[in-house]
Chains A and B, each alone.
Chain A
Amino acid sequence: MSLLRRAKTWEISDSEGSDAETKPDLNPEVATETKEDQSSGDQNRSVLPAAAGRQSAPSLSPPRPQGSGTPSPTRKRRTKEEIEADRQKAKERKEERERQRAARVQEKEERREAAERLKSLRPENCLKCLTVRLDPALLQQDGSDILLDTLAAFEWRFSIESQQLSHSITWTRDLPQGEDVSVEEEQVVLVLGLADFMDMVISVKRMLDSEGEETERGSFLSPLLECLNRDAQKVVTLLVIESNYSINACGEHPRDEMLQSKLGMKNVDIEEVLVYLQLCKNISLVFLDGWQDVTDHVCAVTKALSKRPFKLLTERAELPFCVDGSWASGVRVERDGSGLVEVWSKQIQQLNRVSPAVASAVTASYPSPQLLLQAYQSLASEEERKGLLAGLLVKSGGKERRIGPEISARVYRCVTAQNPQLVLD
């Protein structure tokens, strides 16, 4: 890579020196004059004396050196001005070169920085910048040790500190530049027992039924709503542990039973509450069996957060289609070019509604893009070119049919169109 870049650099200095090609004529004078008059004040680099040396050797060779080398008073005076001009030019050239070098250095620097930045965004590095923040109230619950143990085993950073929202888990991420700067991620996980969750459902239901009137909101709902009022961008997930209940023989969910028996609430009511929380508060809900599941979920969120910066950066697609998928894997091509015929066939298949059978009919008759192009060039009229492939026979499933004028015209336009935005269908 660096080799190529160097080659390019040469090209640039060559082309930039197009006026430099006229220089050899003048350089000797510059050199001699500098030596005579201004040798002391001159900071010209070795380039010029060297050029002068080169010049002095073939000074006998006619006719150019002769003309320029002949000293005459008028000429001398003129050359003095010329000297000035030349010195100026040389200086400009030098500055130009220096600018370029600086630009190159800077570009290199920028690319290095960009690479660093990108590297810091890679999930494995990003993971190191994340801190999982746990509310101490969580750790008082039975079975919660497993969460701490797992985080410690992964060697992920975590802290136990009182959160705005009791029983919640949040994340912060250090920004790459400074050590102290960190951002709070928008994800919030709130871990609730089934009983607490049901209190919340009842509170919401009451709130909805009373249509906005102030009601008693319960110990979990009101801090939650306050938290969302402070920052509407937060995305809250409720993790509800129903560990003490196992699914009973009828396959009924314990929460259904419990709600129904205790409160006369129906599934519809709870679903209503959930839909309200979704649409108005962007709160989602996961029922889990115990702390192992909670731990798994917290780990999954942490991993997802670590992947996000890089994904967002690389996802900003320049292409109008999803670049993932089996179609995009590509055909392996050897150095000698074997495999290209398959590439060519796959290329034709990229047009809508072109099957492998149709594509291989085309590539069998025209086994390279050049051969197809030549065939087009040999035809006189647009109509003929459009219809070139229409008559080719396609064998599929024992039947034979023709490619037809529509596909033929599309292939033609795709290969020869000059307007990249032309719609083929």
Chain B
Amino acid sequence: MPASEPVRLGRKRVLPACPNPLFLRWLTELRDEAREKGLKTQYTYQKALSSLNKYPLPLRNAKEAKILQNFGDGICKILDEKLQRYHQENGADAQIQSVSSAAPPAGRADNNSVAPSRKNSAGDGGKDRAPDGKKKRREYVPQKRSGGHAVLLTLYRQSQIPDSKGFMFKLELQAEAQPLCDKSFTVPDLGSKYTAWTSVSTLIQKNLLIKTHNPARYSLTEEGLALAERLAAAERQTTEEEEEEEEGPGVVDLTGSDDGEGEEDRTHPTGSAAGQQSSDTDASCSSEKPQSSQTTSRHQGGGCLLPGTYEIILCVDFIETTGGSNHRKQELVKELQRNRVNFDIRKLNVGDFLWVAREKVTPVPGQLRVPAGRELVLDYIIERKRMDDLCGSIIDGRFREQKFRLKRCGLHRPVYLVEEHGTAASHLSLPEATLQQAIVNTQVVDGFFVKRVQDVRESAAYLTIMTRYLNKVYQNRTLSCRSRELEGDVCGAEEERGVPSCSLISFAEFNHGAVKNKCQTVREVFARQLMQISGLSGDKAAAILEHYSTPHSLMAAYERCASEAEKEKLLASVRYGKLKRNVGPALSRTVYQLYCTQGPLS
């Protein structure tokens, strides 16, 4: 029993465990569920969690929780339902004991796993924040086996490999840093919203880490390199010492933490000093945490999905199911349910529908939450448009923007699903012929597949059949995971028609890569900024960027000019576009006025 917390730096007082572990657990589950689907309700649950965490007294039912901040009727109702179910399963008298007692009774699997990990999360939180808040004067050194420590160390090791590329992508970095860290990089602990990855922003703030490009690349700054070097040296030293002195207890601890999880051996980096140490220091921690982090690291690593180990699931963007014209949108979900389609509602950053191959996972004994299965995205992505949507999106420019994003999303078979609604299109603000031309252009010019249906019902029927068909096609296929970040896009040409592609990107990478405006680089912002001048088109901006890729470099160039006249003409002879035309003196002058006017602009 992990009754006593190991001594941790930066923590003075062990926080009492939350007196309401069941509510805590349910809320955490609700939040994580919402987060997986990208729903905004995750924040509501998070707020409620924070309140609950602060409340020191046991609650007998959910109604009592209503006095807490951020607990609305909705949450209380859900919790009450869960509580009733819990009573039904465990008997009505289970209530007081399990809900109100602060110390979990020994031997109950669920409460054991709840309380200790809550302690840990508090410990980690304190540890992460302490250097930030209190010790402002002192140099920032991340604690051993914390997220920051692991990230620094991983990047350092990578930088020491000859001919290394000098940076790492997010997924790569997470996967390799995970064994060096106690906390998961992807799954937050119970009651907390932070993962070990959260510390990366601290590292960036402390100027130890630099994040460049899109997709993001992480590398060490000079300061970061110096610190990481010291951390690595300290690491080597301690492992040597431990190997000399503590061989005996180390062995005992190893077996201790191996209880009930045969996987641990396989997933630990073989013979790595860090791995040894982890079992060492973690032996007294709850068994749940290190294991969950192990499983996630296993899932991130490539590997294959063999036939039968996965199922094909339709993913529906939550926008398609909520908000706006509610009635019609509910209809789609109802139809899909009626058709018994295996579907999942989540936030898709591009497109409205797609399919994932999801690994089937079985619950691990001794663990409440079923580990998340791997998910690979099939090559098809569907954008649904009613005629009136199409009309609106052409007018406000979303039509092109969406197609642009669909083309770059990494899935090679985009489908435009058009709901024509018979004659309803006749009273739209664009003529029917324009809309039809736009649809045909989408097929001929953009190379999308265009599927025409009459209404939502037909859309649902189409999605149903597609799901069934894909299930059939993928019945006997072995899927492998490929990373766009690491391997780039393969061209779709090598896939033969009718043969489904089996080298797929993970859903996480796909959806992360498709976030709109996620990471702006200085270059990108500068291009957009230049385009705010009327007449300065995208190709002109791109040409100027060839010469001056940041505001700073343009300003510096102006400063190097000998005269105002020279400044005025600086950009005039920059060539742009296919025809290599000059940007011209007028535009050059405008840019000069913008950046060189010493006083206020008019």
Contacts and interface: CB of A to CB of B under 8 A. Distances in A.
Interface of A: 1, 4-5, 8, 111, 114-115, 118, 187, 232, 235, 237, 247, 253, 267-268, 271-272, 274-276, 278-282, 284-287, 296-297, 300-301, 303-305, 307-308, 311-314, 317-333, 335-341, 343-344, 346-347, 350-352, 367-371, 373, 413-425
Contacts of B433: 296, 300
Contacts of A319: 524, 527, 538, 541-542, 545
Interface in B190-224: 210-214, 216
Given A324-B397, A331-B534, A370 B598 contact: yes
B600 A423 contact: no
Contacts of B498: 279-281
Contact of B578 (A4, A114, A297, A339): A114
Contact of B451 (A187, A284, A301, A320): A284
A422 B535 CA distance: 27
A335 B555 CA distance: 21
A265 to B, nearest CB: 14
A275 B517 contact: no
B401 A304 contact: no
Interface in B543-582: 545, 549-553, 555, 569, 572-573, 578-582
Contacts of B601: 337, 340-341, 343-344, 367-368
Nearest to B467: A275
Contact of A338 (B445, B528, B578, B602): B602
A314 B135 CA distance: 55
Given A304-B437, A326-B397, A418-B553, A337 B597 contact: yes
Contacts of B454: 253
B449 to A, nearest CB: 6
A414 B522 contact: yes
Interface in B374-393: none
Interface in B433-454: 433, 436-437, 440-441, 443-445, 449-452, 454
A275 B465 CA distance: 7
A324 B400 contact: yes
B86 interface: no
B400 A325 contact: yes
Nearest to B457: A267
A4 B532 contact: no
A322 B600 contact: no
B496 to A, nearest CB: 7
B169 interface: no
B461 interface: yes
Contact of B520 (A187, A232, A351): A351
A422 B527 contact: no
A313 to B, nearest CB: 7
Contacts of B451: 278, 284
9 smallest A-B Cβ distances: which pairs? A323-B538, A367-B600, A330-B534, A304-B444, A420-B549, A420-B523, A322-B404, A318-B542, A280-B498
Contact of B214 (A301, A320, A332, A373): A320
A323 B540 CA distance: 11
Contacts of B247: none
A285 B443 CA distance: 12
B521 A420 contact: yes
10 contacts: A118-B579, A237-B443, A304-B444, A319-B527, A324-B397, A339-B534, A340-B593, A344-B594, A367-B599, A414-B525
A281 B569 CA distance: 56
Given A350-B532, A371-B599, 17 more contacts: A1-B584, A4-B582, A4-B585, A5-B573, A271-B461, A275-B462, A282-B497, A301-B444, A304-B441, A319-B527, A320-B214, A330-B536, A331-B532, A368-B594, A415-B552, A420-B521, A423-B212
Contacts of A267: 461
A352 B465 contact: no
Contact of B400 (A307, A322, A329, A418): A322
B522 A413 contact: yes
Contacts of B550: 417-420
Contact of B521 (A285, A329, A344, A424): A424
A247 B421 CA distance: 13
A322 B401 contact: yes
B440 A300 contact: yes
Contact of B528 (A296, A303, A321, A326): A321
Contacts, number: 258
A268 B210 contact: no
B210 A422 contact: yes
A340 B498 CA distance: 55
A326 B536 CA distance: 14
Interface residues of B, number: 92
Contacts of B415: 278
A421 B523 contact: yes
Contacts of B602: 336-341
A352 B436 contact: no
Interface in B149-208: none
Contacts of A321: 404, 524, 527-528
Contact of A421 (B521, B541, B590): B521
B596 interface: yes
A280 B498 CA distance: 4
A222 B444 CA distance: 25
Most chain A CB atoms below 10 A, which of B397, B534, B549, B600? B600
Contact of A422 (B212, B440, B533): B212
A418 B582 contact: no
B579 A333 contact: no
Contact of A330 (B533, B539, B545, B600): B533
A328 B404 CA distance: 15
B535 A368 contact: no
Interface string B478-503: 00000000000000000011101000
Contact of B599 (A276, A296, A368, A416): A368
Nearest to B461: A271
A347 B520 contact: no
B396 interface: yes
Contacts of A271: 461-462, 465
Contacts of B525: 350-351, 414, 424
B598 A352 contact: no
Contact of B444 (A279, A308, A330, A331): A308
B55 interface: no
A301 B211 CA distance: 45
A325 B397 contact: yes
A423 B519 contact: yes
A263 to B, nearest CB: 18
B538 A317 contact: yes
Interface in B41-82: none
B437 A417 contact: no
Given A371-B599, A423-B521, A318 B532 contact: no
Contacts of A280: 497-498
Contact of A420 (B522, B528, B569, B593): B522
A396 B600 CA distance: 24
